[in-house]
Amino acid sequence: MNRQGHIGMAILAGSAVLYVTPALSILPAGVLIAAAGIGGLLPDLDHKTSTVSNKLQFSAKMRKQLKGLSALSLAMGILWFVLEQPMPWLWAAAGLIFTLASRLRMLLLSGLGLLLLAGYELYNLHWLILLTGAALLVMPFVKHRGIIHSPEFASALSLGVISFTATQPVLFQALGLGLLAGWWSHLVGDAVTVEGIRSVLLPRLKVALNLLRNGGAGERWIARSCWLCSIALWLTIFY
Ligand SMILES: [Zn+2]
């Protein structure tokens, strides 16, 4: 499922959670719905060119150019070194910067992951930080629809978010609930496509209902229907 379908389903999932949650005022309700929309896209951080991944990196063309510049800088550095010109390492440093820029997504995800792991270690934070940090750290290196799309990871994340937000103000609880609603709706959305989702512990356990083609007309209809149902739910909640 692509962005359109995932957002629609996530908004509907968030609206359904809102419907069964004891009356929230408008601000936490809005936070819950917005968080659901974001949560519905987050699992595809494990995809190199998904909507959410593309927010963290330069365009494909730019990445290619950066890689070219990096190779060029490195070659210049070697030339400078061989010709005994001053400061050949400046070229090498430039090459490294170009390489890092071409891999910005990896740098941001793994960097944030390491930061969270350090925070967990140094400040004795909740284990949700450990889980999130570890997931972000490995995100650029795991395969799409692997561990991050597994029901096991979603279950651990749910336990973490619920136990962490239980003691927090209502706004945080709304944020956590929304994220989880969006996250699970994403798995449901992927489970109805031919690629499906699978368990990490029991890789044979796979749900691929093959009801929907990625990005097809069916998905557009589902997205529209989800939005309509969500609006109907909001009307019943707030009037
Ligand atoms: Zn997905």
Cα–ligand 1 centroid distance for 155 (angstroms):
16
Q: Is 106 a domain residue? A: no
Q: Is 134 a domain residue? A: no
Domain assignment of residue 195, given as a range: 3-48+144-238
Model pLDDT, residue 203 = 79
In tens, the pLDDT along 171-203 reads 999 999 999 999 999 999 999 888 889 898 887
Domains of the chain: total: 1
State the alpha helices, DSSP H only, in 124-150.
Answer: 127-138
Model pLDDT, residue 24 = 82
Q: Is 10 a domain residue? A: yes
Model pLDDT, residue 215 = 74
In this structure, what is the dihedral angle of CA atoms 188, 190, 160, 231, given to the nearest 10 degrees? Answer: -50
Q: Is 66 a domain residue? A: no
Q: Is 174 a domain residue? A: yes
Model pTM score: 0.89
Q: Is 17 a domain residue? A: yes
Q: Is 220 a domain residue? A: yes
Q: If DSSP codes are grouped into helix, strand and coil, which group holds residue 223?
A: helix
Q: Is 56 a domain residue? A: no
Nearest to 211 by CA among 191, 226, 187, 231: 191
Cα–ligand 1 centroid distance for 43 (angstroms):
6
Cα–ligand 1 centroid distance for 213 (angstroms):
13
State which residues of the chain have pLDDT below 70: none
Model pLDDT, residue 79 = 95
Cα–ligand 1 centroid distance for 82 (angstroms):
49
Tokens of 195: 């690629």
